[in-house]
Structure 1
């Protein structure tokens, strides 16, 4: 396991007027590809009760597409942050730092997150965040309305890091395909998993996965060719793939280094019904 991973983080800016317009951005019924090149200054958003921040919204619930989660890439300048970051008591969150460092206080307990740091924040959690360093910090913020189940408590908050955990090899892959599992997959309290998936150069997903989970896949490192709903697309560090339920997906990784991505999926709950009106 490498402990020296670097993660791609957008820096904004604008392309020159001489650049051609067409890019790799794709939005279709089954999937979307948001390439790193479109994450410019003019597509950033802002939130109330935050200081010196901006963010790229790369996923939001859309009826008829992917409906369970939102995902932001947040950039906070030195001394920036928020004493009131989450305004929805039903929302749980995951923060994953891809550049810089920051301080987060959860229920009165202070934690320091460096690059690769990870925090799970349950619904109704009281937390604050501040960049006390001299450089920008950039992190992913994945949010999902928690789906309560009678007899199960919501999970507790926790803080860890990519560097502190061992990877779990996928069966029959000899370590070519592995997952850093931040959440216990046997713990039914969790209704989402946010993990890091790693492929060694030349590794593959050898079949078109077709399943009920929605996905957000942000490429942290490396490059690959993905097979999405019957079409091949090239992806590299900084790209984001957004997949609705049952979108077929497979990949070949290109090397020369590891291919790694931050993966969201919804898990461990019955499928809700659309009930007829009485």
Structure 2
């Protein structure tokens, strides 16, 4: 059976007055779930240096919450964008296009990106983002402060796309669980990965992963049931999950579509031996 991939993007607006107030939102000291219905007009942020743009901030470094990264969903209206999007000179980022079309320029080279487009911008590289089309463009923007290591070169910026990275089957899963990797896991220049994880209907993580990596997880497509610490939580496309280091986690795909999510994790660096 063949499946088509899609990428869910929030559209804002306000929920119906008859909706339940709490919906499925959960915030704990080991995980958080921000469902897609929470991404309404009244919680958007407007960012310095960006024109005709609004963003939903899903994670940022905060005591008791995300420690290593910030994650946003950014919506750029026609004619909008930024000629200087990044205020931190040591920041690196990934942009993943969900809807619409944008032009990303890195240095002197411009790239026209459609849904599924993937951009990694290395620390210190200048880039711009522009929407010259007549419909809004929406993308995930994941930012992290780079951790340099003596003797290891800085990473390089690159542009690719979901469809250019065939999913790699996880061992002994018969293709029900696969990962699309955009960076070689053994390349120590990169101190974070943003991959796409795909479960076909019936696919599962059959054990409670418990590990040092922090996660930001944005559901691109489909439905699943996720084990978060000791709770089984239903999630669906457009939802965001944050998992702190060592939070036990597992999942299985539900429904008839592939269950796919964009997964951030910090990698390839020694653990800090002091806080702050």
Instruction: Report the secondary structure of 1:152's partner residue.
Output: coil
- Counterpart of 1:274 in structure 2 is 274
Contact 2:30 2:247 in 1 (8 A): yes
Instruction: Report the secondary structure of 2:42's partner residue.
Output: helix
- Counterpart of 1:27 in structure 2 is 27
| 1:2, distance to aligned residue in structure 2 (A) | 6.6
- Inter-CA distance 190–7: structure 2 relative to 1 (3 Å threshold): same
- Counterpart of 1:229 in structure 2 is 229
Q: Partners of 2:115 and 2:69 in 1: how far apart?
A: 23
Question: How many residues align structurally?
Answer: 276
1:123 aligns to 2:123 (yes or no): yes
| 1:267, distance to aligned residue in structure 2 (A) | 0.2
- Counterpart of 1:90 in structure 2 is 90
- Counterpart of 1:113 in structure 2 is 113
| 1:227, distance to aligned residue in structure 2 (A) | 0.9
Q: Partners of 2:266 and 2:47 in 1: how far apart?
A: 25
TM-score normalised by the chain length of structure 2 = 0.97
Q: Could you give the per-residue CA deviations for residues 148-206 of structure 1, whole angstroms, max 9, x where no partner exists?
A: 00011111100000011111111111111001101111101010000100000010000
Contact 2:3 2:257 in 1 (8 A): no
Uncovered stretches (5+) of structure 1, i.e. residues with no partner: none
1:132 aligns to 2:132 (yes or no): yes
Q: Partners of 1:53 and 1:275 in 2: how far apart?
A: 35
Q: Partners of 1:189 and 1:3 in 2: how far apart?
A: 34
- Counterpart of 2:264 in structure 1 is 264
Q: Partners of 2:3 and 2:194 in 1: how far apart?
A: 19
Contact 1:66 1:245 in 2 (8 A): no
Instruction: Report the secondary structure of 1:188's partner residue.
Output: coil
Q: Partners of 2:81 and 2:122 in 1: how far apart?
A: 19
Q: Could you give the per-residue CA deviations for residues 118-138 of structure 1, whole angstroms, max 9, x where no partner exists?
A: 000011111011001111000
| 1:233, distance to aligned residue in structure 2 (A) | 0.6
- Counterpart of 1:39 in structure 2 is 39
| 1:16, distance to aligned residue in structure 2 (A) | 2.3
- Counterpart of 2:249 in structure 1 is 249
Contact 2:221 2:260 in 1 (8 A): yes
Contact 1:169 1:177 in 2 (8 A): yes
- Counterpart of 1:218 in structure 2 is 218
| 1:32, distance to aligned residue in structure 2 (A) | 0.1
Q: Partners of 2:187 and 2:221 in 1: how far apart?
A: 29
- Counterpart of 2:12 in structure 1 is 12
- Counterpart of 2:196 in structure 1 is 196
- Greater CA drift, 164-173 or 58-67: 58-67
Contact 1:103 1:113 in 2 (8 A): yes
Instruction: Report the secondary structure of 2:252's partner residue.
Output: strand
Contact 1:3 1:163 in 2 (8 A): no
Q: Partners of 2:130 and 2:91 in 1: how far apart?
A: 20
Instruction: Report the secondary structure of 2:163's partner residue.
Output: helix
- Inter-CA distance 2–193: structure 2 relative to 1 (3 Å threshold): farther
Q: Could you give the per-residue CA deviations for residues 1-32 of structure 1, whole angstroms, max 9, x where no partner exists?
A: 97842111000000122323231100001000
RMSD: 1.4
Q: Could you give the per-residue CA deviations for residues 74-125 of structure 1, whole angstroms, max 9, x where no partner exists?
A: 0001110011100110100000001111001101111111110000001111
Q: Partners of 1:202 and 1:19 in 2: how far apart?
A: 31
